[in-house]
Structure 1
Amino acid sequence: MSSTDVVELILQDHRRMEDLFRTMRNVEADRAAALAEFADLLIAHACAEEDEVYPALRRYKNVDGDDVDHSVHEHREANEALLALLEVGDTASEEWQDKLEELVTAVNHHADEEERTLLNDARENVSDDRRAELGRAFKESRAQYLKDGCGGVENVRKLVADADD
């Protein structure tokens, strides 16, 4: 049975993103397919966190609201880096490689910080039952974003533009 603990679900997504980075770095792999899966996963994951998880965590006095705000800011940075990579046509080009490394840096920095701050705070301060509720809401929201093809370049462009407003 798969976990419904929101912390475990978020960690599973982080590990899958790392796997996809390895695939995208592999010159023999289908980099475009890996990028398409990664884009959908990153956007669905971040949007579901912002819709379902972050607002709930903000309500806990032992969860730092500044950490939540910082995570939202880092989602914006990751979206910008993702868009830059999506807009490079040739997956064999030096530019693609450079933009991929910028994306890897942004996402890995965020995942590392989130795991050390927000997720540990959630483990310590949020009951198992509540984490399971949040996990179900996160999974449902994430699934809807994935169903809607949220990682397409036009949607990512819109998310980046909306964040600038």
Structure 2
Amino acid sequence: MPKILQQTGGDVVEVILADHRWFEEAMRELRDVGSDRDAVLADLATVLIAHAEAEESKVYPALRKKQAIDSDEVEHSEHEHDEGNEALLALMEVTDSSSEEFSEKTHELSEALSHHLDEEERDILNPARTEVDEEVRLRLGTDFATERARQIDAGCGSIENVRKLVEAAQKKSEQKKTAQKN
């Protein structure tokens, strides 16, 4: 099982990419029937939630302020985080990690996660590389790593917290649909 990265900073692009590669390795482990799937899932849930929360609170607003990305890209990435959280929760709710249902839900999470990583690396991280000064990227790397560690220490990957995040996203989506109708 991949060890959870204890990041402290660096170029935010590289820090985020390190997490992305970690997610890919964790997903490989999750698909392996010989691995400790429950332990891998617990670690994956923790890092995935911490990563997304740190991006949304620290990285996306700063990149938006620097005009490296626009509000549509932020909204799209946050929506994909919400979809990933839904798929993560569905997997966490499966009681038997050796079941076919667990494999199916793993596949659904893998699809959502792979799609998001690809788009984020192209549409968020590439502009961050070219449109944001190295000094800012280094500061953002520290801010991201600090928030990510805070989230991990707070137990962000618990099923209760993931459920709370999914419910909040669903409520926000419903409010947005209602506002668009009016």
Q: 1:68 Cα deviation (Å)? A: 1.4
Matched residue pairs, number?
165
Native 8 Å contact 1:63 1:125 kept in 2 = no
Where in structure 1 are there 5+ consecutive unaligned residues?
A: none
How far apart are the structure 2 equivalents of 1:26 and 1:137? 34
| Partner-residue secondary structure (3-state), 1:117 | helix
**Other-structure match for 1:58:** 64
Is 1:127 matched with 2:133? Answer: yes
How far apart are the structure 2 equivalents of 1:136 and 1:76? 24
Q: What value does the CA root-mean-square deviation take over the aligned residues?
A: 1.3
For residues 26-65 of structure 1, the aligned pairs below 5 Å read 26-65=32-71
Is 1:16 matched with 2:11? Answer: no
Q: Which amino acid aligns with 1:46?
A: A
Which of 85, 103, 107 is matched with 1:79 structurally? 85
Q: Which amino acid aligns with 1:20?
A: A
Where in structure 2 are there 5+ consecutive unaligned residues?
A: 1-6, 172-182
Using the size of structure 2 for normalisation, the TM-score is 0.88
Q: 1:69 Cα deviation (Å)? A: 1.1
Percent identity among equivalent residues? 53
Native 8 Å contact 1:6 1:132 kept in 2 = yes
**Other-structure match for 1:108:** 114
